[in-house]
């Protein structure tokens, strides 16, 4: 279980590091004052707005949740197939499938809500 958490945290860290973009080592034009310095420090691949950053982070998390839910749906199906008619194993398999479907629905609704709220921010 600890290994799953480590992989999850590594994936999140990698995703968040990719959002920041590369920072330039030096700026050619230093006459822009504070705005020029802020533009230089922003980097070349940085995301411009906070709502866009929030949307990127939530999309990454929702993608991970969606993948996990689909994997659990497959695992539940395999559990159901290999239950061999045992009522306890069949119930566990059905519960796994039900919770996986609920997870997929929640992930889709979360995506819709985040997209709706982010769309209300001025660009």
pLDDT digit string (tens) for 20-65?
444 444 555 556 666 666 666 666 665 567 778 888 888 888 889 8
Token pair in block for residue 36:
């020029």
Q: How many Cβ atoms from other residues are within 10 Å of residue 96's Cβ?
A: 19
Checking if the pLDDT of 108 tops 50, the result is yes
> Tell me, what's the pLDDT at 4?
64
Task: Give the whole-angstrom CA distance, residue 72 versus residue 21.
Answer: 34
Does the global pTM surpass 0.75?
Answer: no
Task: Give the whole-angstrom CA distance, residue 1 versus residue 33.
Answer: 51
pLDDT band at 115 (very low <50, low <70, confident <90, very high): confident
Mean pLDDT over the full length of the chain: 76
Task: Give the whole-angstrom CA distance, residue 123 versus residue 121.
Answer: 6
Average pLDDT on 63-80 reads 91
Residue 45: name the closest of 23, 26, 27, 21 by CA: 21
Residue 23: DSSP 8-state? P
Higher-pLDDT residue of 81, 49: 81
């Amino acid at each position: 279980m600890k290994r799953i958490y480590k992989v999850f945290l590594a994936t999140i860290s990698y995703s968040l590091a990719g959002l920041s973009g590369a920072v330039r080592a030096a700026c050619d034009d230093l006459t822009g004052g504070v705005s020029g310095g802020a533009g230089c420090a922003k980097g070349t691949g940085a995301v411009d707005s906070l709502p866009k950053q929030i949307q990127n982070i939530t999309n990454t998390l929702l993608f991970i949740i969606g993948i996990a839910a689909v994997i659990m749906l497959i695992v539940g199906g395999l559990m159901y197939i290999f239950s061999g008619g045992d009522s306890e194993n069949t119930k566990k398999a059905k519960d796994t499938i039900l919770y996986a479907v609920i997870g997929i629905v929640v992930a889709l609704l979360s995506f819709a809500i985040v997209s709706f709220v982010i769309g209300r921010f001025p660009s």
